[in-house]
Amino acid sequence: MRLALFTVLLALIGCTDAQPDVEIAEETMSADSTADLSSFFPEGTVGAFVLYDAQSGITTRYNPERAAERRPPASTFKIFNSLVALDAGAVADENEIIEWDGVDRGSTGWNQSQDLVTAFKQSSVWVYRELARRVGRDTLQTWLDREDFGNATIGEEADLFWLDGSLQISPNEQIDFLRRLHAGDTGFSDRAMNTVKEIMVTDTTGGAVLRGKSGWALSETENLGWWVGWVEHGNETYFFAITVENDNLEFEMRGARLPVAERIMAHLGVR
């Protein structure tokens, strides 16, 4: 079983969230397998973990009720946002340069002109807000509805809805969308899907390919971390979604998600 490679890869990948991105329940999905993994989350945190084994068709969940609860996607929405930007022509391709507006946003990685590849890797919120404005509310809403993406709600600000709590999605729904993206079974063009899948690559250690995106939602009332994606080794594919939440707004979320994943994988015997 190649799940051990997933653990190794997670240990090698660093968080790209330079800054934080700024409960609606769905019907709980039937769990194929559940496990009490609460002891592997840092003190004071709660969360959910979902793993889908594409070979066996088995989904393993920790905290299945929370795995069915929707939360703001934060920067994990950059996967969807990139697909929309490409198909709507907001950028010609992944190499088109989006000029920096000169505003200092407190991050060296953000304070520069970027293309889609660097903006995704740097998790540059200002770039994706600009792309959302170029796409426009109507197109964004149409494609959110078409893909049944979470609650498909934009809210008041068409360039902030994935950050301000308007748009919400559950770990279960994240897995569903990732599975369809991997299979090429969305309404987006093959060109857009293939480009985004390449942008999502974060590591290729040991012949395995890890694709994913982290997210961090921090507000006056919420400190939420995400990590979603999939790992491929040959014909074997595993999809994952992790959330970690802490009421303490000072809790260092950026470094919490990967250690949680490592401990969970070790407990599941995949090291």
Catalytically active residues are 75
Produce one character per residue of 102-116: b if its CB has 16 or more CB atoms within 10 Å, e if not. eeeeeeebbbeebbb
| Cα–Cα dist 159/140, whole Å | 10
Whether 165 contacts 70, CB under 8 Å: no
Place of tokens 């594409």: 54
| Cα–Cα dist 145/183, whole Å | 20
Whether 80 contacts 141, CB under 8 Å: no
Closest alpha carbon to 230 in 177, 186, 151, 162: 177
Parallel, antiparallel, or unpaired for β 33-34 and 58-62? parallel
Q: What angle do CA 230, 233, 234 make, to 5 degrees?
A: 125
Identify any residues that bridge with 52 across adjacent strands, giving them in sequence order.
59, 239
Closest alpha carbon to 13 in 250, 234, 228: 228
| Cα–Cα dist 189/174, whole Å | 19
